[in-house]
Amino acid sequence: MLLLLALGCGGPRVWAQAPADPNQLLQQLNEVQIDFTQVYVLRDTALTRDRVKLYFNRGFVAFLTPVAGEVTGAVFVGDGEILLIPPNAVEKRNLTQFTGAPILTEPFDFTLLRFTDQTARELRARARPPDPEDSEQPTGLFEVWNPLIRRRSPDHSVRILQDLLGRRDLPFFHARLQGVNLGVFQVFVDERLPETVVVGAVREKNQQWYADVWCSFPSRAAEAGGAETQASSSRVVSYKIDTRLAEDHSLEGRAELTLESRSAVERILTFELSRWLKVSEVRDEAGNRLPFFPGPAVDQAGAAAPGNGWVAVALPAPYPVGAHFRLNFSYQGNVIAEVGNDLLYVGERGSWYPSRGFKERATYDLTFRFPAPLTLVATGRRLEEKTADGVTWSHWVSDGAIPVAGFNLGLYQTTVCQAENTTISVYVTTEAEAALKKRQAATQGAQALAVVRSRTGRSSLEVVSRPVTPLEPVAGLEDVADQALRAVQYFTTLFGPVPYSHVAISQLPAGFGQGWPQLVYLPTLSFLRASERSELGLDDKSEELHYRVMVAHEIAHQWWGNYLGWKSYHDQWLSEGFASYAAALFLAREPDGERKFHELLGAYKRSLLSKTKEGRTVESGGPIWLGERLSNSLDPRGYLTIVYMKACWVLQMLRMLMTDPAKPAGERFFRMLRDFVQAYGGKNASTEDFIRHAEKYMTPALDLEHDGRLEWFFNPWVYGTGIPTYKLTADVQPRGANKFLVQGRIEQSGVGADFEMLVPVMATFARDRKVRLGLVHVTRTGGSFRFTSTRRPARVAIDEDSILAVVQ
Ligand SMILES: [Zn+2]
């Protein structure tokens, strides 16, 4: 009864005593510095934080000025050492790539600590006052380290404030270490996060900054199943966003978020919001102004990078678990750039409103006011639109809960078509963006040589500026609509009905696309004709195919990524790999599609086997399971190559394994995918969810370990690295009338000792007719096979089109 009462009460609880002022606390946290009176000698002291051990062998510790009576930081100058043994092979291997060893043992001569745990108490217990007679004295503490502390403090202030004003049983610990060999690197032990321990460093490569994650893993307690982590203290149920776009394309927004409380003690809530947007106020439902704190204007590397911003809000008091409450945000700024020829580019597609990121689904009610000549398209269905006095007002609502909302606008031409129960509309401008025109002029200009005859009649060869035919994205309007229509129809047969009543495709003046729920962003390049792309220098076959399949890839995201989401960064291949494979399957249906399909997968294979500057293959950068961590200072392409292309191959192999050549191609595989969409539609799935699901569809032949599991397949391909090399030797002998014995061996190399695979062996007969003879179980000791055939094969070989391998 009490609980019901508590749930029914929507308003904040009244505190017995006035809570501390969050604004004041935050300011104090931002301004902490070394406390002159708190400098001590520290020797032979160790701190253990989960699997991380910090040794302070000999030096000085100085505590930072307290905030609300609590010490939240310290610096150590002297001889120290860190020791960390990552808990699994994946993290050990990843750490080795960055540091050269699977275990982190690094001496350091300086560290800045920030914490909300017992660190101050533990260090103080071992510290003793310095002896003025001692020859060793702390140096540089104030001159060198105070400015650093001042620069870095805002990085952690909001996280520390969260604990000072909220629950204390999931504390935070951070060490910024000056390593003797490895340079500056950082250790986070944040018990609120599912991956409690994160070690990494900010590194620069080719003028780009990368947040390299050396290792990241859950706490020991979480692994044992006992720990509670708390990713968020509340969840957004619905967004109501009113956006005004001025003539100069600046944005003024008001967002009303309805949230559901998940914690009865938390007061600080953080929201993602572009750094280009400035929050002017946040109010609760009673109209009270709430304190809010924008994230630092610069990122970890100190660069003023766009996007990735955030804003934190302090509630006057926590709400009971399950209670719904509202927050109203007002913000202004510019997230839209003009990129020439009247084209607009919505740069901050995901952070133009305060949100909780992609992981949570919510309903969206969006209204926009914008200059009338423009057309605006948004996620959802357009309910209403009217124009008066040069301003258009447009109202959009989502089909149920979706993971993200976006919009796009321009001087568009449009076309509409109907696929099954889904209306598809396509929006594109007449002209291409300035950057593409420039690129066209550059490529064409360089090629233009002409015989020029002078007045005297002498002729010479000269470079002339050839008239450039204007690029016409609008000419691709019907073709894109047709591709989208066919993709929706085909994918419906493969994965089940489209979950949305309307899908808009709109032009993005950039080199990439994005498939959002009910709104696809497609680059201008995908609207151009193949001949126009060739004029732009996209002669490379795989690059051409890339833009060719992009419509289908982004449409496939309606199922993979939007309707069925991913649980954590480890699982993003369920979105990108599956969309890539769906797009490849779509390509296979074009005229001469089978050849194009294998050409695309062949190009993916070459990318995976291509070498980095250090001489290793791109594929060896890490397993699919590391997701976005694969793009780092060692290889900025890692994520795209491994999570898109290798994952595409994993599905191709799974389909091959699940296909009985005697039955309709891929039937079992597609039934498995369709059922997966049905089981996880509207939810987020994990890699483990997918593996357990796939196991339900395996054939007896796939049950290599006789345990009903497919771990032998997924462990090396999704959680591991390595592309095998196979060498086949075969021999054909007649065995009576219409009977031939095909026998031989396959040797395996280039992969770990536990790598095993079912390798498809094909026989080629006259007129290139290929028949799969069977699957050969190949392990580190190789594999032998014996098949019979009614006709003599002209050739026996490994089916290279169905397996990601180097075949010798
Ligand atoms: Zn994608």
What's the gap in Å between 725 CA and the centre of ligand 1?
A: 29
What's the gap in Å between 796 CA and the centre of ligand 1?
A: 37
Q: Which is more confident, 471 or 328?
A: 328
**Distance between CA atoms of 251 and 265, rounded to whole angstroms?**
35
Q: Could you count the other beta carbons within 10 Å of the beta carbon of residue 486?
A: 17
- In the predicted structure, residue 499 carries a pLDDT above the cut 90: no
- In the predicted structure, residue 585 carries a pLDDT above the cut 90: yes
Instruction: Tell me the residue length of the chain.
Output: 808
Nearest to 196 by CA among 225, 174, 216: 216
User: Which of 108-112, 304-308, 439-443 is the least confident region?
Assistant: 304-308
What's the gap in Å between 257 CA and the centre of ligand 1?
A: 28
What's the gap in Å between 439 CA and the centre of ligand 1?
A: 25
What's the gap in Å between 577 CA and the centre of ligand 1?
A: 8
What's the gap in Å between 553 CA and the centre of ligand 1?
A: 6
Quote the pLDDT of residue 3: 31
What's the gap in Å between 523 CA and the centre of ligand 1?
A: 13
Local structure of residue 640 (DSSP, 8 states):
I
Q: Which is more confident, 466 or 334?
A: 334
- In the predicted structure, residue 231 carries a pLDDT above the cut 80: no
What's the gap in Å between 645 CA and the centre of ligand 1?
A: 11
User: Which two structure tokens, joined as six digits, stand for 351?
Assistant: 């952070």
What's the gap in Å between 142 CA and the centre of ligand 1?
A: 50
What's the gap in Å between 521 CA and the centre of ligand 1?
A: 11
Q: Are the beta carbons of 35 and 69 closer than 8 angstroms? A: no
What's the gap in Å between 585 CA and the centre of ligand 1?
A: 15
What's the gap in Å between 424 CA and the centre of ligand 1?
A: 19
Quote the pLDDT of residue 12: 37
What's the gap in Å between 384 CA and the centre of ligand 1?
A: 30
What pLDDT, in 10s, does the model give residues 679-725?
Answer: 999 999 999 999 999 999 999 999 999 999 999 999 999 999 999 99
What's the gap in Å between 638 CA and the centre of ligand 1?
A: 15
What's the gap in Å between 627 CA and the centre of ligand 1?
A: 13
> If you average pLDDT over every residue of the chain, what do you get?
89
Q: Are the beta carbons of 383 and 366 closer than 8 angstroms? A: no
What's the gap in Å between 520 CA and the centre of ligand 1?
A: 10
Q: Are the beta carbons of 549 and 503 closer than 8 angstroms? A: no
Among 79-88, 343-352, 658-667, 785-794, name the most confident range: 79-88
Q: What are phi and psi of 488, to 5 degrees?
A: -60, -45
What's the gap in Å between 557 CA and the centre of ligand 1?
A: 7
Long-range contacts of 410-414 (CB under 8 A, 24+ apart): 410/342, 410/343, 410/344, 410/374, 410/375, 410/506, 410/507, 411/342, 411/373, 411/374, 411/375, 412/375, 412/377, 412/506, 412/507, 413/474, 413/477, 414/375, 414/477
What's the gap in Å between 480 CA and the centre of ligand 1?
A: 17
**Distance between CA atoms of 59 and 56, rounded to whole angstroms?**
7
What's the gap in Å between 604 CA and the centre of ligand 1?
A: 15
Nearest to 315 by CA among 391, 246, 259, 251: 259
What's the gap in Å between 555 CA and the centre of ligand 1?
A: 9
Q: Are the beta carbons of 710 and 690 closer than 8 angstroms? A: no
What's the gap in Å between 652 CA and the centre of ligand 1?
A: 17
What's the gap in Å between 579 CA and the centre of ligand 1?
A: 6
Q: Is 420 helix (H, G, I), strand (E, B) or coil?
A: coil
User: Which two structure tokens, joined as six digits, stand for 234?
Assistant: 């509340």
Token pair 């510790």 is at which residue? 61
Give the mean pLDDT of 444-451: 61
**Distance between CA atoms of 322 and 234, rounded to whole angstroms?**
9
Q: What are the residues whose beta carbons fall under 8 Å from the beta carbon of 262, sequence distance 6 or more?
A: 230, 232, 233, 234, 235, 321
Q: Which is more confident, 133 or 745?
A: 745
What's the gap in Å between 484 CA and the centre of ligand 1?
A: 15
What's the gap in Å between 357 CA and the centre of ligand 1?
A: 17
Q: Is 450 helix (H, G, I), strand (E, B) or coil?
A: strand
What's the gap in Å between 132 CA and the centre of ligand 1?
A: 64
Quote the pLDDT of residue 115: 98
Instruction: Name the pLDDT band for 447 (thresholds 50, 70, 90).
Output: low
Percent of the chain with pLDDT strictly greater than 90 = 71
What's the gap in Å between 584 CA and the centre of ligand 1?
A: 13
What's the gap in Å between 512 CA and the centre of ligand 1?
A: 9
User: Which two structure tokens, joined as six digits, stand for 553?
Assistant: 């890839």
Q: Could you count the other beta carbons within 10 Å of the beta carbon of residue 749?
A: 13
What's the gap in Å between 522 CA and the centre of ligand 1?
A: 11
Local structure of residue 641 (DSSP, 8 states):
I
Quote the pLDDT of residue 767: 75
What's the gap in Å between 516 CA and the centre of ligand 1?
A: 9
Give the mean pLDDT of 223-250: 84
Residue 188 CA from chain centroid, whole number: 21
- For the four alpha carbons of 441, 442, 444 and 447, in that order, the dihedral sign comes to positive
What's the gap in Å between 270 CA and the centre of ligand 1?
A: 27
Quote the pLDDT of residue 622: 97
What's the gap in Å between 592 CA and the centre of ligand 1?
A: 25
**Distance between CA atoms of 135 and 131, rounded to whole angstroms?**
9
Q: Could you count the other beta carbons within 10 Å of the beta carbon of residue 533?
A: 19
Give helix then strand counts, H and E, for the chain. Answer: 19, 38
What's the gap in Å between 513 CA and the centre of ligand 1?
A: 7
Q: What are the residues whose beta carbons fall under 8 Å from the beta carbon of 96, sequence distance 6 or more?
A: 102
Nearest to 686 by CA among 696, 672, 676: 676
Q: What is the largest CA-CA distance in the chain?
A: 105
- In the predicted structure, residue 361 carries a pLDDT above the cut 90: yes
What's the gap in Å between 402 CA and the centre of ligand 1?
A: 17
Percent of the chain with pLDDT strictly greater than 70 = 92
What's the gap in Å between 573 CA and the centre of ligand 1?
A: 9
What's the gap in Å between 565 CA and the centre of ligand 1?
A: 12
User: Which of 106-115, 248-257, 654-663 is the least confident region?
Assistant: 654-663
In order of 120, 188, 553, 625, 653, the CA distances from 218 in angstroms are 24, 12, 33, 15, 31
**Distance between CA atoms of 170 and 221, rounded to whole angstroms?**
12
What's the gap in Å between 526 CA and the centre of ligand 1?
A: 14
What's the gap in Å between 572 CA and the centre of ligand 1?
A: 10
Kindly report the three-state secondary structure assignment for every residue of 468-531: CCCCCHHHHHHHHHHHHHHHHHHHHHHHCCCCCCEEEEEEECCCCCEEECCEEEEEHHHHCCHH
Q: Is 104 helix (H, G, I), strand (E, B) or coil?
A: strand
Q: Is 748 helix (H, G, I), strand (E, B) or coil?
A: strand
Local structure of residue 620 (DSSP, 8 states):
G
User: Which of 327-336, 403-412, 460-469 is the least confident region?
Assistant: 460-469
What's the gap in Å between 569 CA and the centre of ligand 1?
A: 14
In order of 362, 378, 401, 403, 503, the CA distances from 682 in angstroms are 11, 20, 8, 9, 17
Q: List, in sequence order, the alpha helices (H) in 573-666.
A: 573-587, 593-609, 638-639, 647-658
Instruction: Name the pLDDT band for 144 (thresholds 50, 70, 90).
Output: confident
Q: List, in sequence order, the alpha helices (H) in 40-145.
A: 89-99, 119-126
What's the gap in Å between 303 CA and the centre of ligand 1?
A: 27
Token pair 């070394």 is at which residue? 34
What's the gap in Å between 735 CA and the centre of ligand 1?
A: 52
What pLDDT, in 10s, does the model give residues 629-684?
Answer: 999 999 999 999 999 999 999 999 999 999 877 776 668 999 999 999 999 999 99
To 10 degrees, the CA torsion angle through 258, 263, 264, 268? -70
Local structure of residue 191 (DSSP, 8 states):
T
Q: What are phi and psi of 474, to 5 degrees?
A: -60, -25
What pLDDT, in 10s, does the model give residues 536-550?
Answer: 877 667 777 888 899
What pLDDT, in 10s, does the model give residues 261-298?
Answer: 998 888 999 999 998 899 999 999 999 999 999 887 65
Q: Which residues of 440-478 are buried (b: 16+ CB within 10 A; e: fewer)?
A: beebbeeeeeeeeeeeeeeeeeeeeeeeeeebbbbebbe
What's the gap in Å between 306 CA and the centre of ligand 1?
A: 21
What's the gap in Å between 554 CA and the centre of ligand 1?
A: 6
What's the gap in Å between 312 CA and the centre of ligand 1?
A: 30
Instruction: Express the helix, strand and coil content of the chain in percent, nearest 5 each.
Output: 30, 35, 35
Q: Is 766 helix (H, G, I), strand (E, B) or coil?
A: helix
What's the gap in Å between 641 CA and the centre of ligand 1?
A: 12
What's the gap in Å between 229 CA and the centre of ligand 1?
A: 30
- In the predicted structure, residue 13 carries a pLDDT above the cut 50: no
What's the gap in Å between 381 CA and the centre of ligand 1?
A: 22
For the question of whether the overall pTM of this predicted structure is more than 0.75, the answer is: yes
What's the gap in Å between 776 CA and the centre of ligand 1?
A: 34
User: Which two structure tokens, joined as six digits, stand for 679?
Assistant: 């089981």
Q: Are the beta carbons of 788 and 764 closer than 8 angstroms? A: no
What's the gap in Å between 75 CA and the centre of ligand 1?
A: 44
Quote the pLDDT of residue 14: 38
Quote the pLDDT of residue 2: 30
What's the gap in Å between 519 CA and the centre of ligand 1?
A: 13
User: Which two structure tokens, joined as six digits, stand for 101?
Assistant: 């060893």
What's the gap in Å between 560 CA and the centre of ligand 1?
A: 9
